[in-house]
Chains A and B, each alone.
Chain A
């Protein structure tokens, strides 16, 4: 296994703050959607990339890397920001996010973007893709792992539950799914659209080793994510309780920021809350 790049030892808390600042600037510049979706998953991404995943930005397709799939591809701005922070591609690319002629689209795009394993954006594709990668890894007797982040509204899609049945049957303990359970989807609260509770118990019933965590608590996230597989022979599921829009008070639990970025004087207010003078 390659040594972890030095960047991976930076504080995940500092990284998360940097990602929130960068992401809000990216989405506001382009007037792009989904800033609140980025903020709910930022701490998970920061812990994964600085503490858990094994990768080499110089060789994005290095065979022994851990695979990461952001199935909620609409939160890609945060992932692009992380990848640029670790040097997968130049930070200047982030300034082109969502703009004419760019390769950084508003949903995670693998084409021409080092570090993005697969394109996502139609919800409900990531976990089946991750399952296929994990199965190939097992068959080839490789040691790398596969991590996949789902959103909660995304759990409505039946395709996830097909993969959820499949992975334990095939004992894919190299696979970890993390659910960004921010309790909000596109038209309202998850409990009002299609209630998911008890969510962790559903995954357990399907044969996964499931744990719950505060998805903004870096120490707790790190402890869990470095402890997978929780049980030999079973895939792992982490239900991360999160807040949509976490980090900027007026965006938290406010559905409007699924659709629009902070505008006008909201942008300096958001940046001020993120400690930018």
Chain B
């Protein structure tokens, strides 16, 4: 996902001189070619994320479209007030993007676990929050950013995730993509959990359960039409995210469902409890630790259908 996103930024930047790629001393073996090719459209801001984010806003207010990159929590939590005041309040065209979402850097320890970013960015007025589900979606995001006048936060994993979509997709900011059709239960996933959700749906299919899978790549603004249709047509909604169950995708869906008139669907959030991981390990290890696996999702869906 990371490489698909970077390559799309490089391609757009060659056509559009407003685009600037800013990195917080990260991007080894990814950005060097672009740095040499387009020095005026590149900046290594050093290990100084607060300064980086305010500078990105400053450049954007002068007409640039700034893609600001770092890993893990550094371009969000570390400089959240700069994101809020300088980027969001001024409507600056800054696209913050990070790799390392969720437990990508699980073995690196709790400082590198990214499990509250969607919650805090979702709370920022005017900020579009996107977590693409596969490299095909990730490659579409930079163009969507350039087409929309406003700030973005994009959460990426690492490199090497498989493609989930079979072919070209119609990627639109704020519009969910239906990856599997079905009317028995809805699995709404964001980011890396799209893979887990589609595999869980395939398992459920073997048991005669038709699960709808939605790639909710845009967590804000949420595609309320897609959530409404899932509620009305399937009556059972399970959200899945590699993020705290507080404040992210599941919370956004729950907020909508709780305030909507009429009887709600059966609903459950799968995600990370609000606790620091008590052990470390690879992404797969930690996802299994928290039950965020295809088996875990399929089992939860079945329990909901049985209740």
Contact = CB atoms under 8 A, between A and B. Distances in A.
B108 A106 contact: yes
B284 to A, nearest CB: 8
B25 A193 contact: yes
Interface stretch (A61-69, A154-162, A239-247, A266-274): A154-162
B108 A154 contact: no
Nearest to A185: B25
Nearest to B286: A100
Interface string A92-108: 00000011111111111
Nearest to A108: B109
5 contacts: A98-B107, A105-B280, A106-B107, A156-B47, A187-B27
Contact of B111 (A32, A121, A188, A255): A121
Q: Chain A at the B interface: mostly helix, strand, loop or mixed?
A: loop
Interface residues of B, number: 30
A102 B110 CA distance: 12
B46 A99 contact: no
Interface string B104-117: 01011111100000
B78 interface: yes
Contacts of B246: none
Contact of B279 (A101, A158, A187, A259): A101
Contacts, number: 97
Interface in B57-106: 72-74, 78, 105
Interface residues of A, number: 37
Given A98-B107, A119-B110, A193-B25, A124 B279 contact: no
Contacts of A122: 72-74, 78, 111
Nearest to B47: A156
| Most chain A beta carbons < 10 A, residue from B27, B50, B280 | B280
B256 interface: no
Contacts of B280: 98, 100-106, 109
Contacts of A107: 108-109, 111-112
Contacts of B78: 122
Nearest to B281: A100
A153 B48 CA distance: 9
B109 A158 contact: no
